[in-house]
Amino acid sequence: MSYGAVEGGSRRSSEVLESNIQTPLLESSSETFTSSSPDVKIDIPLTQEQELIFPNEPVKTALSFLFLIFGFLVTTFSLALTHDRVPDYNPLPDIVLDNTTYHQWGLKASEIIIIISIVLAFFTVIVHTHRMIIIRRVFLILGLLYMYRGLTMFVTVLPISDKNYECAPKLNHSITFLELISRVVTIVSGGGLSMNGKQIYCGDFIFSGHTMVLMMAFFVVREYSPRTKRFLVFHLLSFMLSVTGVAMLLVSRGHYSIDCLVAYWVTSRVWWTYHTLANNSNLKLSGSHNHMDNIWWWYLFRYAETNVPDQLPRRYSLPLPSGVIEGARRTWERRWWGEPRGRGHQRLEDSEE
């Protein structure tokens, strides 16, 4: 080995390095990439602002409505059969009911709050641009919850929590098919509310349907309304209505405390599970990576959500044909400015803060 050669090579390498340092970057690039060099292509990723397509799929929404009807019928048939099995015992010990003052008007107040909460949730959904997808999700989740409720109230029947609540007389014989259908029709015609006098059958305790609807209304408002500071009051209003509705339900002895706790737990877990699946495309695929496909309603979920590409953006528009909106806009502008001021935006976008 010749050390002189190594030393000479090192000297030449240092000279080349110094020349490269002194040469500007642009000149070096122009010398390096000659006309004989191949073209360099750089793939620029698509921006996140690229518009995703969220199909309405009204047929799936209609089928989800039928699923909701089926779930509600499961609950009504369960209540119609449970009524005659309610034990004639005193109310069970309850830490909340035993330490609060009884107010019979609390049940009516709770149901009035339920109606207000439903109106707020309905308004949130109807002004959302992707309202059809949200309606489909609400129908499916409510259908699941009604089916769960029909099962839990049938397997374990609790004594009446309010001694003053008037229930229909029990039958002294096995219920016939016509009597069962008559009870179901009565329950359905009342919409599950006591304020109209149609909720005369008892035994629907575990779990609370009132609490379930109140929580669903709050979850809809919180998930699909804007998350800006301006709408914080709207979120707090919906939350306080839900809490107040449950409190009124308890002071009226409409349900045991365990009924409300189980209703919150089941409703929140089904809602959060469904939306976690919907917002993660890899959880829509069956495989060893996804243990969520063991849920019995996962295939129903995948059918409903398979064409939804991503989490729904918070965008809002009026549920009217575009021609009607454009005509109203131009009429408004002529009245105030004398002439149209160009095509306006029909959609409002909520920017996250």
Helix axes 298-305, 58-82, angle to 10 degrees: 150
Contact 90, 186 (CB under 8 A): no
What is the DSSP annotation of 114-178?
Answer: HHHHHHHHHHHHHTBTTHHHHHHHHHHHHHHHHHHHHHHHHHS-PPPS-TT---PPPPSSPPPHH
Q: Please tell me the distance from the alpha carbon of residue 346 to that of residue 143, in angstroms, as a whole number.
A: 33
Q: Please tell me the distance from the alpha carbon of residue 50 to that of residue 53, in angstroms, as a whole number.
A: 10
Per-residue pLDDT, 339: 57
Instruction: State the pLDDT confidence band at 89, using cuts at 50, 70 and 90.
Output: confident
Q: Would the CA dihedral through 286, 291, 297, 302 be positive or negative? A: negative
Q: Report the percentage of the chain scoring pLDDT > 70.
A: 78
Number of other residues whose CB lies within 10 A of the CB of residue 264: 18
| Whether residue 81 has pLDDT greater than 50 | yes
| Whether residue 16 has pLDDT greater than 60 | no
| Whether residue 27 has pLDDT greater than 50 | no
pTM: 0.78
Q: Which residue has the higher pLDDT, 120 or 316?
A: 120
Instruction: State the pLDDT confidence band at 333, using cuts at 50, 70 and 90.
Output: low
| Whether residue 351 has pLDDT greater than 60 | no
Element (H, E) at 353: none
Which region among 128-142, 187-201, 305-319 has the lowest average model confidence (pLDDT)?
A: 187-201
pLDDT in tens, 241-252: 999 999 999 999
Contact 273, 297 (CB under 8 A): no
Q: Which residue has the higher pLDDT, 93 or 29?
A: 93
What is the DSSP annotation of 208-226?
Answer: -HHHHHHHHHHHHHHHHS-
Main-chain phi, psi angles of 128, to 5 degrees: -80, 140
Q: Please tell me the distance from the alpha carbon of residue 197 to that of residue 224, in angstroms, as a whole number.
A: 34
pLDDT in tens, 160-174: 998 888 888 989 888
Q: What is the mean pLDDT of the chain?
A: 83
From the list 176, 174, 175, 201, the residue with the least C-alpha distance to 187 is: 201
What is the DSSP annotation of 249-279?
Answer: HHHTTSS-HHHHHHHHHHHHHHHHHHHHHHT
| Whether residue 44 has pLDDT greater than 60 | no
Q: Please tell me the distance from the alpha carbon of residue 106 to that of residue 328, in angstroms, as a whole number.
A: 44
pLDDT in tens, 220-236: 999 999 988 889 999 99
Supply the residues annotated as catalytic. Answer: 210, 255, 259
Per-residue pLDDT, 337: 65
Q: Which residue has the higher pLDDT, 9 or 223?
A: 223
Which region among 115-119, 195-199, 327-331 has the lowest average model confidence (pLDDT)?
A: 327-331
Q: Which residue has the higher pLDDT, 88 or 14?
A: 88
